[in-house]
Amino acid sequence: MKKNMDRRQFVKNTTLTAAAMGVPMRAGKAGWMGANDRVRIAIIGLRQQGLVNMRDFCAVPGVEIAALCDVDESQFGRPIKVLEDMGRPKPKICGDMREIFDDKDIDAVSIATPNHWHALATIWACQAGKDVHVEKPGTHNIFEGQKMIEAARKYNRIVQHGTEQRSSPVQQEGIRLLHSGGIGEVYMAKGICYKWRDTIGQTPDEPVPLGVDYNLWLGPAPERPFSRNRFHYNWHWHWDYGNGDIGNQGVHEMDVARWGLGVQLPNRVSSMGAHVMFDDDQETPNVQIAVFRFDASSEAKTKILQFEVRHWVTNHEGPFFEGAENEIGNLFYGSEGYMVMTVSGWQTYLGKNRTKGPGMTGPGNDQHALGHARNFIAAVRNRDLSILNGSVEDGHYTCALIHMANASFRLGRTLDFDPKTQRYIGDDEANKTLSRAYRPPFVVPDKV
């Protein structure tokens, strides 16, 4: 009997490992096997992250890049050349993502547009029967996260949020140690995003460049004249499209901080900051501090999450960060020690003498992203949400913290929040920040 039990456990473990790594599995008529193993994916948004995502999905066996989509015609050349050099078939190209959603031969989409497009594109894709990998941050406001979850569940879609550290074996092991009491009772996390960000300068309003469909680029955002500082990449620093660095690089560390603490939504948030040093077009703060409190419940004790954004000269947050150009990662504090975690590893320091304890190093962010792509395709092939890293729910909870911090910063006060209703308590002005006015016809719907 013992031998049979061991064999069954071995088969179970092998199956789970195969699914997690993206290995095709036979599952009867409904499964993926043979020619049916192929997943045809479209890449929507072709600049930096879109090109990274395309390369990662190309590295997953059985994945075909079926289509490329961007509102800027100048962005097609580089990815097409990459695919040609790989000997891949030439994909369909288009400027309007709705053509992708109408194509019945496309199974999934990878969305790497500006933030203000993420939610609507995801909802449209779900409605069209496509599975979705959506870049971080998955939402531009809290309402959008709620609607993305509704759409994913209503249309039975796999939706993965692009916080790829969820797919890192190194980070996974560090989180397991935290959750198993490796530094005692974890009561606080500090996420840090100290990244050199120079001035963006000032650019005037001007005619839309040739080959750019600016109406589609604006999408849900308000009508405004074209300016280069509100276009490629620098849109991150404007409220209509981006969420500042707390929602750009910071979203990765916010996600890890929340993951390590084992929390979802807070009861209180307070954030302050400023846009310092530079006289330029940036609207979002380049220095920002946010503190969240997760009140005690029957399931958990009170937890604190602190997050800090700095953009220029700064100190090292301990020896584990020394030598890095940018200080990006998390510190976790427990009753028996603390942990420092970066994208490439973690180290614990235990007791009053802060003696080195367990630690681990591994590959950097490029391998995390590849692992995330493999995990997404595995979940798509197996129709199994239980193996998905970075679910749409996790994406919503993490992005909600970003939006709450920015709301507190912009309103200039501490905000109380009800995690059950996902609304601010007794604060109509704050509740207006939960959503936005959408520009027709690019409206995130109340009913998905």
Distance, CA of 332 to CA of 399 (rounded, Å): 20
Distance, CA of 430 to CA of 423 (rounded, Å): 9
151-185 residue pLDDT tens:
999 999 999 999 999 999 999 999 999 999 999 99
Distance, CA of 205 to CA of 207 (rounded, Å): 7
151 in the same domain as 198 = no
| pLDDT recorded at residue 448 | 97
Q: Residues 100-122: what's their mean pLDDT?
A: 98
pTM of the complete model:
0.91
170 in the same domain as 130 = no
Distance, CA of 184 to CA of 173 (rounded, Å): 16
Is pLDDT above 50 for 12?
no
158 in the same domain as 197 = no
Contact 31, 7 (CB under 8 A): no
- The residues facing 281 across adjacent strands are none
End-to-end CA distance of the chain: 51
Q: Compute and round to an integer the Cα radius of gyration of the chain.
A: 22
Token readout for 281 is: 């077009």
Higher pLDDT, 6 or 99: 99
Confidence of residue 300 (pLDDT cuts 50, 70, 90): confident
55-87 residue pLDDT tens:
999 999 999 999 999 999 999 999 999 999 999
- Helical (H) or strand (E) element with 345: strand 345-350
Contact 64, 41 (CB under 8 A): yes
Confidence of residue 340 (pLDDT cuts 50, 70, 90): very high
Is pLDDT above 50 for 191?
yes
The answer to the question of residue 334 being in a domain is: yes
| pLDDT recorded at residue 8 | 33
The answer to the question of residue 371 being in a domain is: no
Token readout for 141 is: 């406001």
The answer to the question of residue 40 being in a domain is: yes
355 in the same domain as 255 = yes
Please count the helices (runs of H) and the strands (runs of E) in the chain: 12, 16
7 in the same domain as 67 = yes
Contact 134, 128 (CB under 8 A): no
Is pLDDT above 50 for 20?
no
| pLDDT recorded at residue 164 | 96
135 in the same domain as 176 = no
Taking the CA atoms of 45, 46, 49 and 54 in sequence, report the sign of the dihedral they define: positive
- Helical (H) or strand (E) element with 303: strand 303-310
Residue with tokens 């959408």: 438
Q: Residues 228-237: what's their mean pLDDT?
A: 98
416 in the same domain as 398 = yes
395-446 residue pLDDT tens:
999 999 999 999 999 999 999 999 999 999 999 999 999 999 999 999 999 9
366-375 residue pLDDT tens:
788 999 999 9
The answer to the question of residue 10 being in a domain is: yes
Is pLDDT above 70 for 28?
no
Identity of the amino acid at 221: A
Confidence of residue 29 (pLDDT cuts 50, 70, 90): very low
Task: Give the closest residue to 227 by CA, choosing from 177, 287, 283.
Answer: 283
- DSSP, collapsed to helix, strand or coil, labels residue 440 as coil
Is pLDDT above 70 for 3?
no
Distance, CA of 137 to CA of 249 (rounded, Å): 9
| pLDDT recorded at residue 75 | 97
The answer to the question of residue 101 being in a domain is: yes
95 in the same domain as 175 = no
CATH of the domain at 212: 3.30.360.10
385 in the same domain as 267 = no
Task: Give the closest residue to 178 by CA, choosing from 257, 254, 255, 252.
Answer: 257
Q: What percent of the chain has pLDDT over 90?
A: 86
Token readout for 187 is: 């009561």
| pLDDT recorded at residue 339 | 98
Distance, CA of 250 to CA of 269 (rounded, Å): 16
The answer to the question of residue 408 being in a domain is: yes
Q: Residues 176-200: what's their mean pLDDT?
A: 97
What is the chain's mean pLDDT, rounded? 92
The answer to the question of residue 237 being in a domain is: yes
The answer to the question of residue 191 being in a domain is: yes
- Please count the structural domains in the chain: 2
Q: What is the DSSP string of 224-242?
A: ---BGGGSTTGGGGSTTT-
Distance, CA of 354 to CA of 93 (rounded, Å): 56
Q: Residues 289-294: what's their mean pLDDT?
A: 98
Distance, CA of 119 to CA of 121 (rounded, Å): 5
Identity of the amino acid at 16: L
Q: Which domain holds residue 182?
A: 166-361+394-422
204 in the same domain as 276 = yes
CATH of the domain at 35: 3.40.50.720
58 in the same domain as 21 = yes
382 in the same domain as 258 = no
Residue with tokens 């019945």: 104
Q: Residues 92-108: what's their mean pLDDT?
A: 98
Distance, CA of 277 to CA of 272 (rounded, Å): 16
Contact 8, 371 (CB under 8 A): no
